[in-house]
């Protein structure tokens, strides 16, 4: 009756693989053993099917332990978290001893539960029902009323079809990672580099004034109606290092994502991620900002969406490595104040929902796509309103401080006075910095009275600002009030003893 059990094993395996879409992990037609995998209810299930006669309980326990060790050694399967392990034997007779619940004797089975199915001739129907119920599958009719000759004739066909299915599954997996060509990635790299070189040619990419002029995210201008800055800021970079780091990340992430999703899905995700990240930055970050970081973090979001759709494949390939890189990047951003975490985290969230709108190739689901699009619109609209109202961004005046510092360096003193005077109509916590910048412009225009008034007010607001003491000392020295000049020079040198200019002025006035 050996042929009957062998036929049953391969007929059952055929149904699980071909009809129920289980994935073949490993298969040996000579040994009569197959390892299958399926994700069910957000958990990974591994099934080992074996045609084997086991006579004793201890023999069964040893074979279970050996199977469990094989599972544990396969780290690629293990990466996805807890694994539900199903072990199925097809045999003519059951063990002669009491063998039920022997799987509970395996020491590590609490970590990855073992479910045992022993399909001897008397219990095949019952055990098969238990297996199929575990996956909520309809039970097929495995016809054993055919003759042994017919079974023997059918076996080569079943095995051949399973081998062919295994090869098709492998080709299908490989095709997922090579769906598209990274054409748009290369185009975006060229565009970003071209824009950077142009800005360096006409100005300075590290200049706040230049960045604002060419479309950086500048909250006051956005609140005045220049919402297009959310998009244009994606293509500007602040210095060569910023450009290099972003383009390096875009090259590696972009090629991977565009191969997974294809060109138009990649373009959609990249642009919508950048807009989402830019809007998050507008809501949370008062500083002038620029860069492709939000869009690039959106590509992380696209890969995480791939992980939701293909959990097994995700953890078998990029899984924990990708998660580790995301955690490192976010942690680094939290530790370094200059990094725009709003754009980074916002871009990743936006990338996830933007990808959920288009989904993976050949995986349409209109209702889920519509829900994802509505969520994206609600979130980005909410951030726009929140940013405009300034609920999370009370840094009023900071942008004007940055801009007027740049204007003072370029000699546009009249514009400095105009901007700071307007900003000081509703002074926030940057009042002292605005007054200091205006006083510097007044000094350069020889309006000493106005400069002195501003500097005295600065020191009322911020007595420890060494630069204000120093400038006031220069002003008093200029009008001949040596004693007051010496007092302020001494104060500046005490506050910042490492500044040689402060110490030299004090020494000259003593």
For the stretch 300-348, pLDDT in tens is 999 889 888 877 676 666 656 666 676 776 665 555 555 677 888 899 9
Catalytic entry in 205, 293, 399, 439: 293
* pLDDT above 90 for 9: no
pLDDT in tens, 361-393: 877 888 999 999 999 999 999 998 888 776 665
**Residue 269 pLDDT:** 95
* pLDDT above 60 for 77: no
**Residue 273 pLDDT:** 95
Pair of tokens at residue 160: 């051949």
* pLDDT above 70 for 28: yes
**Residue 321 pLDDT:** 65
Matching residue, tokens 């238990």: 130
Matching residue, tokens 């699980």: 16
pLDDT in tens, 446-491: 888 888 888 888 888 888 888 888 888 888 888 778 888 788 878 8
Average pLDDT, the chain: 81
* pLDDT above 90 for 67: no
* pLDDT above 60 for 183: yes
Closest CA to 139 of 15, 13, 10: 15
* pLDDT above 70 for 37: yes
Pair of tokens at residue 433: 């910095």
Q: Is 287 known to be catalytic? A: no
DSSP letter at 158 equals H
Catalytic entry in 237, 344, 469, 488: 344
**Residue 277 pLDDT:** 92
**Residue 79 pLDDT:** 52
Rounded CA separation 419/405 (Å): 11
**Residue 270 pLDDT:** 95
* pLDDT above 70 for 84: yes
Q: Is 28 known to be catalytic? A: no
* pLDDT above 70 for 1: no
387 Cβ contact partners less than 8 Å away, ≥ 6 residues apart: 219, 222, 279, 282, 283, 284, 393
**Residue 320 pLDDT:** 63
**Residue 146 pLDDT:** 75
Give yes or no for a contact between 212 and 218, defined as CB atoms under 8 angstroms apart. Answer: yes
């Amino acid at each position: 009756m050996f042929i009957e059990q062998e036929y049953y094993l391969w007929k059952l395996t055929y149904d699980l693989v071909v009809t129920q879409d289980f994935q073949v992990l490993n298969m040996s037609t000579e040994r009569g053993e197959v390892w299958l995998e399926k994700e069910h209810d957000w958990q990974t299930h591994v099934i080992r099917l074996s045609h084997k006669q086991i006579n004793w309980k201890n023999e069964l326990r040893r074979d279970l332990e050996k199977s469990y060790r094989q599972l544990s050694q396969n780290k690629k399967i293990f990466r996805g978290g807890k694994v539900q392990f199903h072990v199925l034997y097809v045999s003519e007779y059951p063990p002669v001893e009491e063998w039920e619940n022997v799987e509970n004797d395996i020491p590590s089975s609490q970590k990855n539960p073992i479910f045992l199915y022993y399909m001897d001739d008397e219990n095949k129907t019952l055990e098969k029902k238990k297996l199929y119920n575990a996956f909520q599958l309809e039970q097929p009719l495995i016809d054993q009323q055919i003759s042994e000759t017919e079974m023997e004739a059918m076996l080569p066909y079943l095995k051949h079809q399973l081998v062919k299915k295994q090869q098709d599954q492998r080709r299908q997996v490989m095709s997922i990672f090579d769906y598209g060509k990274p054409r748009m990635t290369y185009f975006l790299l060229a565009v970003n580099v071209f824009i950077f070189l142009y800005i360096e040619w006409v100005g300075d990419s590290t200049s706040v004034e230049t960045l604002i002029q060419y479309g950086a995210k500048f909250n006051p201008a956005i609140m005045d109606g220049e919402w297009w800055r959310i998009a244009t800021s994606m293509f500007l970079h602040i210095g060569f290092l910023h450009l290099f780091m972003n383009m390096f990340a875009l090259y590696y992430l972009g090629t991977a994502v565009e191969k997974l999703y294809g060109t138009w899905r990649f373009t959609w995700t990249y642009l919508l991620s950048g807009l989402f990240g830019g809007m998050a930055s507008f809501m949370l970050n008062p500083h002038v900002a620029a860069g492709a970081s939000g869009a690039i973090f959106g590509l992380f979001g696209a890969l995480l969406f791939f992980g939701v759709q293909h959990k097994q494949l995700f953890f078998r390939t990029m899984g924990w490595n990708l998660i580790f890189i995301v955690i490192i990047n976010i942690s680094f951003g939290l530790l370094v104040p200059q990094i725009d975490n709003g754009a980074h985290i916002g871009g990743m969230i936006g990338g996830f929902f933007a990808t959920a709108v288009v989904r993976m190739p050949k995986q349409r689901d209109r209702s889920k796509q519509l829900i994802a699009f509505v969520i994206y619109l609600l979130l980005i609209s909410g951030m726009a309103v929140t940013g405009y109202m300034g609920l999370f961004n009370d840094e009023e005046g900071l942008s004007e401080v940055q801009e007027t510092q740049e204007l003072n360096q370029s000699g546009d003193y009249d514009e400095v006075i105009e901007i700071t005077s307007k900003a000081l109509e509703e002074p926030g916590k940057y009042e002292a910095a605005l007054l200091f910048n205006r006083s510097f412009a007044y000094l350069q225009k020889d309006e000493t009275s106005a400069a002195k008034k501003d500097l005295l007010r600065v020191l009322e607001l911020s007595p420890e600002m060494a630069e204000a003491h120093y400038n006031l000392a220069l002003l008093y020295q200029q009008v001949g009030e040596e004693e007051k000049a010496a007092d302020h020079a001494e104060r500046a040198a005490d506050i910042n003893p490492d500044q040689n200019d402060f110490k030299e002025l004090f020494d000259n006035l003593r």
